[in-house]
Amino acid sequence: GENVEQHPSTLSVQEGDSAVIKCTYSDSASNYFPWYKQELGKRPQLIIDIRSNVGEKKDQRIAVTLNKTAKHFSLHITETQPEDSAVYFCAASPFPYGGSQGNLIFGKGTKLSVKP
């Protein structure tokens, strides 16, 4: 089955700097890679996702890149702000979900702290 490794586990940056979080996956059949942001005590919220037929996707200050050959994908946050402070999770799965295909497997999370 799929295994997702996420690094670093904690990341501290100054406001305005960039932050990069990296994930690796094991199953070459995985074709969907979402990123979630979770604030303390709240639900994880989908912030960006990418399919395997795309190498990069941007949405304002956040971007995700995918290297299928190396089986890794990364989240990039530019011009960080204090409200970006949260735990970020990556995930990977073949899609459609379920049965022998499996379901989303999550990394263990990165706690991002943005210092004013």
Partner 1 sequence: DGGITQSPKYLFRKEGQNVTLSCEQNLNHDAMYWYRQDPGQGLRLIYYSQIVNDFQKGDIAEGYSVSREKKESFPLTVTSAQKNPTAFYLCASTVGEKLFFGSGTQLSVL
Nearest to 5, CA basis, from 66, 50, 51, 71 = 71
Nearer to partner 1, 99 or 116 (CB): 99
Nearer to partner 1, 58 or 78 (CB): 58
90: exposed, middle or buried (C-beta count within 10 Å: 0-12, 13-18, 19+)?
Answer: buried
**Which range binds partner 1 by CB under 8 A, 13-21, 59-67, 76-84, 88-96?**
88-96
Residue 89 φ/ψ, nearest 5 degrees: -120, 135
| Among positions 42, 58, 61, 115, the unique one binding partner 1 when judged by CB under 8 A | 42
Structure tokens at 42: 């709240």
Residues in contact with partner 1 by CB under 8 A are 4, 6, 9, 32, 34, 42-46, 49, 51, 89, 91, 93, 95-99, 103-109
